[in-house]
Amino acid sequence: MSGLRSFTRFAAESGLTPSDLTAAVPKSFGRKTALIPTITAEEEELLLAAVDRTTTVGKRDFAMLLLALRLGLRSIDIIQLKPTDIKWRTNSISIIQQKILRRLEVPLLTDVGNAIIDYLLNGRPESNSPYLFLRIQAPYINIAPRGGIYNMVALYMEKANIRQEIGQRRGPHCLRHSLAARLLADETPLPVISGVLGHANKNSTKVYLSTDSEHLRLCALGLEGIEVSSKALS
């Protein structure tokens, strides 16, 4: 914008335009929309396939990945999830979100529930800890809130060769974003997506509009009616 205003002033002073057009150039522009990091459905399958579900750590990691991919839970809420938060009779998970301290209830999808059961029966070490997901080595306490899930997700992304270019963001937030992108592509209303993700402010969900390239193409304006001839440019 600054460069364009300088050019219009130059054009007016040089007599290239009949009047000074500087006032027509806005002095500020709209807020930039951040590009949200996501992974495709094919990459999701590669990510899950990278987990060795025959091992104790694999059973735990697979369940945590599904909680982020299928339900969009934040990493801190996955770490602090308790067995009592899982309502098996109603097939739901009910938690108090640590970030905004608001209750969130999401459906317990079949694949997520099966992964949790597999971990509880065949992977979780015996412990008096109230938390569901525990460290693999003693002491059997809950996973460290800093870096615990991020490092796990980044490891499996590396194994699956997903988002490995320099500067590409990784971690559990990509999985949460991917759920929102899928819902939006399926034409799920923004208020519903906001409820699924547990946003305190519904406007927070608007950032995911940048991920829906197919519907954004429908908003693109053509050049019909505003064509510029080569004569006009000379």
pLDDT in tens, 106-120: 999 999 999 999 999
Q: Which tokens belong to 50? A: 């990278």
User: In one letter, which amino acid is 158?
Assistant: E
Return the higher-pLDDT residue of 112 and 230: 112
Percent of the chain with pLDDT over 90: 47
Burial class (CB in 10 A: 0-12, 13-18, 19+), 70: buried
pLDDT in tens, 3-34: 888 999 999 999 998 888 888 887 766 566 56
The conformational region for residue 81 under phi > 0 = left, psi -120 to 50 = alpha, else beta, is beta
Which entry of 60, 74, 124, 177 is annotated as an active-site residue? 74
Per-residue confidence (pLDDT) for residue 232, from 0 to 100: 58
pLDDT in tens, 142-165: 898 777 899 999 999 999 999 998
Q: Which tokens belong to 72? A: 């969009």
Q: Is 74 labeled as catalytic in the residue annotation?
A: yes
pTM (two decimals): 0.74
- At residue 4, the 3 state secondary structure works out as helix
Q: Is 53 labeled as catalytic in the residue annotation?
A: no
Which entry of 9, 135, 159, 173 is annotated as an active-site residue? 173
With a cut of 70, say whether residue 97 has pLDDT above it. Answer: yes
Per-residue confidence (pLDDT) for residue 183, from 0 to 100: 81
Q: Is 99 labeled as catalytic in the residue annotation?
A: yes
Instruction: List, in order of start, the domains of the chain with CATH numbers.
Output: 41-167 (1.10.443.10)
Q: Is 177 labeled as catalytic in the residue annotation?
A: no
Chain Cα centroid distance, residue 139: 32
pLDDT in tens, 49-69: 999 999 999 999 999 999 999
Helices 148-159 and 172-185 pack at an angle, to 10 degrees, of 70
C-alpha to C-alpha distances, 34 to 129, 146, 194, 207, 209, nearest whole angstrom: 39, 24, 17, 7, 10
C-alpha to C-alpha distances, 208 to 129, 180, 183, 216, nearest whole angstrom: 36, 7, 10, 11
Q: Is 215 labeled as catalytic in the residue annotation?
A: no
Which entry of 70, 170, 176, 177 is annotated as an active-site residue? 176
The conformational region for residue 192 under phi > 0 = left, psi -120 to 50 = alpha, else beta, is alpha
